[in-house]
Amino acid sequence: MAPHFTVIRDTTPDSAIPRGAVVAMGNFDGVHLGHRAVIAAALEMGRAHGRPALALTFEPHPRRFFSPNTPQFRLTDEPAKLRLLAGTGLAGAVVMTFDKARAGTSAQDFIHHDLIGRLGVSGIAVGYDFHFGKGRVGSPSLLVNEAPRLGIEVDVQAHVDIDERPVSSSAIRIALAEGQLDEATTMLGAPWFITGEVIHGEKRGRDLGYPTANIRLDANCGLKHGIYAVRVGRGQGKDQVRLDGVASFGRRPTFDNGAPLLEIFLFDFKGDLYGQALDCAFIGFIREELKFDSLEALIRQMDDDSARARAMLAAAPDAFPRLGTID
Element (H, E) at 233: strand 226-234
Alpha carbon of residue 63 to chain centroid = 16
pLDDT at 314 over 70: yes
For 130-148, what is the mean pLDDT?
A: 95
Note whether 163 and 186 are within 8 A (CB).
Answer: no
pLDDT at 1 over 50: no
Note whether 46 and 21 are within 8 A (CB).
Answer: yes
Closest CA relative to residue 248, chosen from 285, 222, 276: 285
For 254-279, what is the mean pLDDT?
A: 92
Query: Residue 240: exposed, middle, or buried by beta-carbon count in 10 A (0-12, 13-18, 19+)?
Result: middle
Contacts (Cβ under 8 Å, ≥6 apart) of 264? 212, 213, 214, 215, 230, 232, 245, 246, 247, 278, 280
For 54-66, what is the mean pLDDT?
A: 93
- pLDDT category, 205, cuts 50, 70, 90? low
| Tens of pLDDT, residues 185-194 | 999 999 999 9
Contacts (Cβ under 8 Å, ≥6 apart) of 205? 211, 212, 263, 265
Give the C-alpha separation, 4 to 15, whole Å.
Answer: 18
Alpha carbon of residue 105 to chain centroid = 27
Note whether 37 and 71 are within 8 A (CB).
Answer: no
pLDDT at 258 over 90: no
Strand order in the sheet with 53-59: 6-9, 92-97, 53-59, 22-25, 123-127, 153-157
pLDDT at 203 over 70: no
Note whether 37 and 28 are within 8 A (CB).
Answer: no
Q: Across the strands, what pairs with 242?
A: 233
Q: What percent of the chain shows pLDDT beyond 90?
A: 84
| Tens of pLDDT, residues 104-124 | 999 999 999 999 999 999 999
Contacts (Cβ under 8 Å, ≥6 apart) of 218? 74, 77
What is the pTM (predicted TM-score) of this model? 0.95
Per-residue DSSP letters for 106-137? -HHHIIIIIIIIIS--SEEEEETT--BSGGG-
CA angle, 25 as apex, 51 and 112 as ends, to 5°? 80
Alpha carbon of residue 79 to chain centroid = 9
Closest CA relative to residue 321, chosen from 198, 219, 184, 218: 184
* 3 state DSSP class of 255: coil
Q: How many CB atoms lie within 10 A of CB 148?
A: 10
Q: What is the DSSP letter of 239?
A: G
Give the C-alpha separation, 217 to 225, whole Å.
Answer: 12
For 192-208, what is the mean pLDDT?
A: 84
For 191-218, what is the mean pLDDT?
A: 87
Query: Residue 50: exposed, middle, or buried by beta-carbon count in 10 A (0-12, 13-18, 19+)?
Result: exposed
